Chains A and B, each alone.
Chain A
Amino acid sequence: MNNEQLKESIHSIDSSLNITEGPQYLTINVKPEDLSKTAAMLKNNPDLSFDYLFCLTGNDLPDAYAVVYHLESSKHGHALVLKVTTTDRENPTVDTVSNLWETANFHEREVYDLVGICFNNHPDMRRIFLDEEDWVGHPLRKDYTDNNIVTR
């Protein structure tokens, strides 16, 4: 399916989804409360069957935190981007998708570690790279400071 057909078939399943077209992939923008439902639909619908999560990124945007999921279907070969944004600056939280794609387990731990976005219902929500006991802060946040960072 090309992007146009993909957009149509997703809209025929759920017409309320906000889909934008990028230069490469379609992007579905969802709110945190709709994430689990939309992700499950994308994975389980036989016409879509996005069974391969090939990238999971956490972003610290100026006004929000975003998690970006790059999905592909190994059966049909089409790909798209699912994006969830939360404006909660204090405790950014989104639901886990590790129940759908096992690879999300490690990737979500990485996002938690470096960007500080928490994932609800994650089986093992701990830091993955930095020291669990004594590391303060999340380095990929834009307001993170460290005496060792050299800025030009």
Chain B
Amino acid sequence: MEDLIITGPGIQDEEYIVNMGPQHPSTHGVLRLKIALKGETVERIEPHCGYIHRGIEKMCERLTYQQMIHLTDRMDYLSAHINNEAVCLLVENALQIEVPERVKYIRTILDELTRLASHELWWCAFGMDLGALTTYFYGLRDREPILDIFEETTGARLLQSFNVPGGLMNDIHPNFQKRVKEYITYFRKKLPEYDELLTGNVILQERTRDVGNLSLEDAISWGVTGPSGRASGFACDVRKHHPYSAYDKVDFNEILYTKGDSFHRYDARVREMWESLKILEQLIDNIPEGDYAVKMKPIIRLPEGEYYQRVEACRGEFGVYILSTGDKWPYRAKFRSPNFSNLSAINKMAAGFKIADLVAIGGSLDLVIPDIDR
């Protein structure tokens, strides 16, 4: 082997560029990472975004606030309900409308179901990124009942658009509470399987522990939020620190780790599923009676000014910024998407690791590409 390696004057190690994506199974969407490699080691990563940029912010400038909600679904489609809620909360706060308690409870329950469904899908995809095909079947098996609950109550499985300014589009289905309770019992039995199957798995441990570390300072500076940020110790849970809807009425833990490696990002999400179940249990039996929406004017005009609303989407902090001139549509709408900030830190995380580790790091960030491109 030794004599096959050519050395001598004028021959030197050069970095070479590899494109990962835009069509690559482990980028989970149309994202291109331009990777500078030295041997197998990643020198730096330059993400190229925009393959599916749709100009949602521009479109929103010609849409009413009710119409806008339907576009927020299409950013992070796995946090559809939570994104909808952000716009609704913004409009309600701007007009100082107090929605009925019933709405707050139902919204929070649907938020947590969304979070569970999203984390389950992430879990099975992450397992598959690392070569464990079985996880895919387990994750999808457990996600399916949640989508059925959504379908029954909201009429849609993925992009619900169930929130409207002032409340909900409709009341919950009579079966809703029963089925959510059945699901909690079911998933409490199934969730330990996730740990048995994958968390303790030696291959997963080897491939994620001490891979892609991100320190607390870096996580804050890069704006890495959600479970990815909390794995680095960044206490950034909007549900905890700026509670909205019914989050101030429930008791749950903010899952914080300190190391910020891929394994802790993984573990933070799995532990978060337990917390979501805890929140659901506290709310599902106590949904107050009342209206499912307050009567709103058919044309909503926000008073002149700037508004901002933050919510905790499945992947981190989602924010809506509206600059209103008093018209029926916003003068400027801006969406702060968690994935965009999380992606920006990938260079920091992956530099110095092997290219195979990049798959684990990318998977542990749980990127949703339409949310980056908007």
**Chain A interface (Cβ within 8 Å of chain B)?**
22-25, 27, 51-55, 57, 59-60, 68, 70, 74, 77, 81, 101-103, 105-107, 110, 114, 128-131, 139-140, 151-152
Contacts and interface: CB of A to CB of B under 8 A. Distances in A.
A64 B297 CA distance: 33
A128 B343 CA distance: 13
Nearest to A129: B50
Interface string B297-315: 0000000011110100000
A74 B236 contact: yes
A100 B57 CA distance: 27
B305 to A, nearest CB: 7
B220 A70 contact: no
Interface stretch (B8-16, B172-180, B246-254, B332-340): B332-340
Contact of A55 (B55, B58, B334, B348): B334
B319 interface: yes
Interface of B: 49-50, 53, 55, 57-58, 62, 218, 220-223, 225, 234-236, 241, 305-308, 310, 317, 319, 321, 323, 332, 334, 336, 340-341, 343-345, 348, 373
A76 B49 CA distance: 34
27 contacts: A23-B305, A24-B307, A51-B220, A52-B220, A52-B236, A54-B317, A54-B319, A55-B334, A55-B336, A57-B321, A57-B334, A60-B332, A68-B306, A70-B321, A70-B336, A74-B235, A74-B236, A77-B241, A102-B222, A106-B344, A107-B340, A107-B341, A128-B49, A129-B373, A130-B50, A139-B58, A151-B62
B305 A22 contact: yes
Contact of A139 (B55, B218, B221, B236): B55
B308 A74 contact: no
A103 B223 contact: yes
A55 B323 CA distance: 14
Contacts of B223: 52-54, 101-103
A51 B221 contact: yes
Contacts of A24: 307-308
Give the top 10 A-B pairs by smallest Cβ distance, nearest first: A129-B50, A103-B223, A106-B344, A55-B336, A129-B53, A57-B334, A102-B221, A102-B222, A103-B222, A55-B319
A77 B243 CA distance: 13
Contacts of A54: 223, 225, 310, 317, 319, 336
Contact of A103 (B305, B307, B344): B344
Nearest to A58: B334
Nearest to A57: B334
Contacts of B225: 54
Contacts of A23: 305, 307
B347 to A, nearest CB: 10
Contacts of A74: 220, 234-236
Contacts of A55: 308, 319, 321, 334, 336
A59 B222 CA distance: 22
Given A22-B305, A59-B332, A129-B50, A152 B319 contact: no
Contact of B340 (A27, A53, A106, A139): A106
Which of A52, A151, A152: most chain B CB closer than 10 A?
Answer: A52
A110 B222 CA distance: 15
A29 to B, nearest CB: 12
B146 to A, nearest CB: 29
Nearest to B241: A77
A57 B330 CA distance: 14
Nearest to B373: A129
A106 B223 CA distance: 11
Contacts of A128: 49-50
Nearest to B320: A55
